[in-house]
Amino acid sequence: MKKILIVFGTRPEAIKMAPLINEFKLHKDKYEVKICVTGQHRELLDQVLDFFEIVPDYDLKLMKSKQDLSQLTAAVIEGMKVIFDAFHADFLFVHGDTTTSTFAALAGYYAGVKICHVEAGLRTYNLDFPFPEEGNRQLTSRLAYLHFTPTVVASSNLLKEGIEPKYISLTGNTIIDALLFASKKIKKNKYPQIEALKSTINSEKPLILVTCHRRENFGQNFENICSALKHIAETNDVQLIYPVHLNPSIHDVAYQVIGDVKNITLIEPLDYPTFVWLMKTVNFIITDSGGIQEEGAALGKSIILMRDCTERPELVASGLVKLVGSNPKRIIDEATTLLKNQNSLQSDAIQSSPYGKGDSAKQILTVLNEHML
Ligand code: UD1
Ligand code: UDP
């Protein structure tokens, strides 16, 4: 029986690893699986653990207010060493490009564990955008044994970097698995959180979803973004609904600068099913998030992307994503254009997606099986 350790620490990692955890549960005869959360996020992570009914075996509880990247990095490496000493894993699964995933991978490498990287191969090849995620994912690719990529472009990035084809597998993105799972659940069950959210929404007006959290957008860029949101809200008969990320560099500024603006509704982060419901409900999305681009596009939503460059070129090519950076005029112009064409933006069905059909977790396990033979 092979020993598997799955580690994650932030909200998006948890959402994208949950389908894999569920898939492993179907194969208890072959794998002994343990789940470790670093607690890089706390409240945001716990919301996801609750929804997907994941009970971690280990929780490093690493989140501290005002912790910088070096302190968090050191804590992840030290914390993970203790886990590897207690559980001698054969394979370690990490996801994407966070501090948790890259430095858990490094600790795993030191412990002689084979690293399996989910959502591998995303690149901008610009170490400043997104920072520090571009550096993180390049480092993880140097350490990984198996690379599970979401798209052909991601696979070809890894091939160009000299990784042997037999270790690269195109499996799609588990975000589609998670989105389908949540969509089914919200159709079947009544969620009081969704009913509560409905009461804050004016269904007569076009609805725009906003999120923002990237480090590149802190400071002046975030002030510019807020001024663009204010302009859109004050010059149109719309409602902007903005679940504000808990990072104080965003949270405190957002409430200070646009907390009282007419037509802007700031709310606390939503649990995953409520957020999926909201994505389905809105006319379009303004964001700098990675995961929300993938989900929003799968739901047929247009997305104004507040970044200077992207590791998801397929979404820009599809026309659904418009890359505008933090330039207020460009944000306002794109929003104005979308508001003019709002009748064409009512879709909420799950569309064909460049990230797969929702069977990525299953495909990852099939590949893992082949590598164990
Ligand atoms: C992290 C990831 C980023 C990912 C994002 C998803 C890194 C370097 N960055 O960025 O790639 O896109 O998560 O959201 O790994 N906080 C809370 N409660 C929470 C979560 C955060 O209070 O549940 C506050 C804390 O003060 C924490 C701060 O936010 O110190 C920043 O969290 P951190 O994980 O360092 O960075 P994110 O900006 O969330
Ligand atoms: N999300 C959520 N509640 C919110 C905002 C986002 O559940 O209030 C989900 C969203 O559906 C997506 C993920 O969180 O799956 C994206 O997380 P985030 O934008 O923080 O990180 P990124 O994807 O940019 O790394």
Q: Are residues 229 and 299 in the same domain?
A: yes
pTM above 0.75, yes or no: yes
Distance between Cα 2 and ligand 1 center (Å): 32
Domain annotation covers residue 145? yes
Amino acid at 51: F
- What is the per-residue pLDDT across 295-350, written as a single tens digit (0 to 9) for each? 999 999 999 999 999 999 999 999 999 999 999 999 999 999 999 987 555 555 66
| Nearest ligand 1 atom to alpha carbon 136 | 8
Domain annotation covers residue 258? yes
Domain annotation covers residue 181? no
Mutate to test the pocket of ligand 2, among 245, 275, 282, 315 (most ligand atoms within 8 A of CB): 275
13: nearest Cα among 34, 38, 31: 38
| Nearest ligand 2 atom to alpha carbon 178 | 15
Domain annotation covers residue 180? no
Q: State the pLDDT at residue 349.
A: 61
Q: Are residues 239 and 275 in the same domain?
A: yes
Distance between Cα 12 and ligand 2 center (Å): 6
Q: State the pLDDT at residue 341.
A: 86
Q: State the pLDDT at residue 177.
A: 98
Q: Are residues 13 and 155 in the same domain?
A: yes
Residue positions annotated with a catalytic role: 213
Does residue 251 contact residue 245 with C-beta atoms inside 8 Å? yes
Mean pLDDT score of the chain: 96
Domain annotation covers residue 206? yes
Q: Which of helix, strand or coil describes residue 129?
A: coil
Q: Are residues 203 and 334 in the same domain?
A: yes
For ligand 1, residues with CB inside 6 Å are 10-12, 40-45, 63, 65, 67, 97-99, 132-133, 213, 246-248
Domain annotation covers residue 186? no
Mutate to test the pocket of ligand 1, among 7, 11, 17, 41 (most ligand atoms within 8 A of CB): 41
Residues 296 and 289: their CA atoms lie apart, in Å, by 10
Distance between Cα 8 and ligand 2 center (Å): 14
Q: State the pLDDT at residue 346.
A: 52
Distance between Cα 128 and ligand 1 center (Å): 18
Provide the residue range defining the domain that includes 245.
Answer: 192-341
Shortest-distance Cα residue to atom 20 of ligand 1: 41
Q: Are residues 19 and 141 in the same domain?
A: yes
Can you list the residues of the chain whose pLDDT is less than 70?
343-350, 373
Shortest-distance Cα residue to atom 13 of ligand 1: 10
| Nearest ligand 2 atom to alpha carbon 96 | 25
Residues 83 and 104: their CA atoms lie apart, in Å, by 10
Structure tokens at 318: 């599809």
| Nearest ligand 1 atom to alpha carbon 46 | 23
**What's the order of all strands across the beta sheet hosting 321-323?**
264-267, 239-243, 207-210, 284-287, 302-305, 321-323
- For position 241, which CATH number holds? 3.40.50.2000
Q: Are residues 135 and 236 in the same domain?
A: no
For ligand 2, residues with CB inside 6 Å are 11-12, 15, 211, 213, 243, 269-270, 272, 275, 289-292, 295
Q: State the pLDDT at residue 65.
A: 87
Domain annotation covers residue 349? no
Q: Are residues 199 and 325 in the same domain?
A: yes
Q: Are residues 137 and 262 in the same domain?
A: no
Structural domain tally of the chain?
2
Distance between Cα 270 and ligand 1 center (Å): 15
Mutate to test the pocket of ligand 1, among 10, 252, 293 (most ligand atoms within 8 A of CB): 10
Alpha helices in the chain (DSSP H): 11-25, 43-52, 69-86, 99-110, 133-143, 152-160, 174-188, 192-198, 220-235, 248-258, 272-281, 291-298, 313-317, 328-340, 360-372
Q: Are residues 33 and 136 in the same domain?
A: yes
Q: Are residues 156 and 229 in the same domain?
A: no
Distance between Cα 67 and ligand 1 center (Å): 10
Q: Are residues 270 and 230 in the same domain?
A: yes
Domain annotation covers residue 42? yes
Q: 156 Cβ partners below 8 Å, 6+ apart?
A: 121
Residues 55 and 42: their CA atoms lie apart, in Å, by 14
Q: Are residues 287 and 318 in the same domain?
A: yes
